[in-house]
Amino acid sequence: MPAPRFVERLNGQVGHELAAHHQYLACAIHYDALTMPQMAAFFYAQALEERRHALMMVQYLLDTDAHVAIPAVDAPVSSFADVVAPVELALEQENRVTSQINELLVIAREENDFASEQFLQWFIKEQVEEVASMSDLLAVVRRNAEMVENIEEYVAREGGEAGADASAPRVAGG
């Protein structure tokens, strides 16, 4: 069983991942309302990915006979000034999640919880990819804020769904 301190913090992280799901859903809806289907699809997919991350954490807790406690999440930001603001918010969120995952790793190491440390390795790699992807998207969106067709074209070209990652943790209910 993972260290109690780690279990408590991982349950909190489940809430952070679900909050990220809600936030990306709000971003998707914003772009859908602007008739930007590529950006909407990108953020709907991001929302599902965050939900999957939460369920990977739930499955780990279940697999290790740890207590699962799904925390409440705050309502997401749902009004945005322009096409840039949701991506700025998304990058801030990815940076925050990276810090949260790193803090979990520190706890696992301090508690000599080697299984939990190993579990987190996939998330660390994932966050590097997420921050890089969102940083690139933000650069494109800022450069093309007045030409949404260019943004849509970029996302259509770059936003392809990657194949399943065989090294990813199992998803609860999957």
Per residue of the chain (174 residues), what is the pLDDT tens digit? 899 999 999 999 999 999 999 999 999 999 999 999 999 999 999 999 999 999 999 999 999 999 999 999 999 999 999 999 999 999 999 999 999 999 999 999 999 999 999 999 999 999 999 999 999 999 999 999 999 999 999 999 986 555 667 788 888 877
Beta strands in the chain (DSSP E): none
The reported pLDDT for the residue numbered 162 is: 59
pTM, 2 dp: 0.92
**Domains by residue range for the chain, with CATH:** 4-158 (1.20.1260.10)
The reported pLDDT for the residue numbered 53 is: 97
Instruction: With beta carbons less than 8 A apart as the criterion, state whether 101 and 13 touch.
Output: yes
Whole-number Å distance between alpha carbons of 163 and 174:
16
Scan for tokens 């399943």, then name that residue: 164
Helix axes 148-158, 114-143, angle to 10 degrees: 150
